[in-house]
Amino acid sequence: MQPLDLIYDWNQPLGKNLKSVKLCDETLRDGLEGGVNHIPSLEEKLNLLTLANALEISDAVVGFPAQETAYEEALSLCKGAQARALDMRFALLGRMIEADIQAIDRIQQTSGHPVTAHLFIGCSPIRRYVEKWEIDELERLTRFGVGLATKLGLHVNFATEDTSRSEPEVVECLCLAAIEEGAAEITISDTVGYLTPTGTQRLVQHFRRFVDERGFKVRLDFHGHNDRGLGLANSLAAVSAGIDCIHSTVFGIGERAGNAPLELVMVNLKMQGLWTGENLGALRDYCTEVARVCELKIPDKYPIFGANSFLTQMGVHASAILKAEVQGEADIAASVYSGVDPRLVGLDYGIQVGPYSGRSNVRLLLRRKGLEVADEIIDQILVKARTEKRILPNEEVYAMAGAEV
């Protein structure tokens, strides 16, 4: 018997067959703009990109080469990727100005590594008001920038900043101009994390129709932020609305409240059958290395990779897990009290003994060490946990059971 045979799944899509989704990894660009304690070195960045490549992530934004230092690093990353034969397309950010676009082209020509020019322009009414921009001028700049990049032979992803707070007719005007000038991808952006999942679905559906009804063969991307705590929910809503690619960062790092968390997006897509990558076990290595080189502390309760994510102290939970284990049903044991099978990412579930535990907790913990003890000893262990109102470290439980620690 498999766990899916025993789970009624309310998560099935409503009335449509969803397609597999690509991921664009923004960890080394948007992610490093805020919320990290250490900026990785060039070699560390290349090692992170190598780990991302092993996950079959197709795209990674690796820089904004608008000034000399950023240019040199972006060039070195692209050369390094070429030397390591990374099967990943790098993206570089640029404004609708000639210097930015020429810099991106030189990096591609010099390194020989495939590069996408992620060209962006602001268009929301609040930004237009502050900058004193006219829509006609934004369209002119869009045509100039995308047109120049296309003539240079660059693959272009065109993004409107703050799409989520912009009038649809303005965004449509700029997207149409970009597509006519050769853009192969369009990114709709929730730049300040303003959207709710309902808003995301309406936004993506609107521009999905805009693209499809005109017969445009362009990829549609969604770039979301987490200011309202909805980065992950909005990304999944975008997927259900027909998006082609999600932008995200490991652990959602980034400016202000950060971005959509890449690892949680990936695990959710995998569980829905929408991520085709086979090596999800490598996700742990990638996330662990990002945390190490950026000097991040992962909260214990953080989903998937937090220290407590797959731990249970409750006696009722442990009892069900123990019964499944005794019956030889390892798959069911991993899922009976977990919404994610930890083995999906190369982890395992764990048992604690604390004030809310029962005999099954102790038995299960000792069973993993090949030990069986009398109920009297089990009860002594539980009395200690309840009296002292604390979770007992495993070594303390082993010691009380008479095992060599």
pLDDT reported for residue 14: 65
Torsion sign across C-alpha atoms 26, 28, 33, 36: positive
Separation in Å, CA 227 to CA 43, 157, 253, 258: 31, 24, 12, 7
| Residue whose token pair is 């977990």 | 338
pLDDT reported for residue 2: 84
Angle at 86 between CA 81 and CA 88, to 5 degrees: 100
pLDDT reported for residue 82: 94
CA–CA gap between residue 246 and residue 24 (Å, rounded)? 6
* All structural domains of the chain: 10-293 (3.20.20.70), 311-400 (no CATH)
pLDDT reported for residue 405: 47
SS3 at position 92: strand
| Residue whose token pair is 């086979």 | 278
* Mean pLDDT in consecutive groups of 10 residues from the start of the chain, 405 residues: 84 73 96 93 97 95 95 97 94 97 97 96 97 97 98 98 97 98 98 98 97 97 98 97 97 96 96 87 95 96 94 92 90 90 92 94 92 92 95 93 66
pLDDT reported for residue 8: 86
SS3 at position 91: strand
**Who contacts 240 (Cβ-Cβ below 8 Å, separation ≥6)?**
13, 14, 18, 201
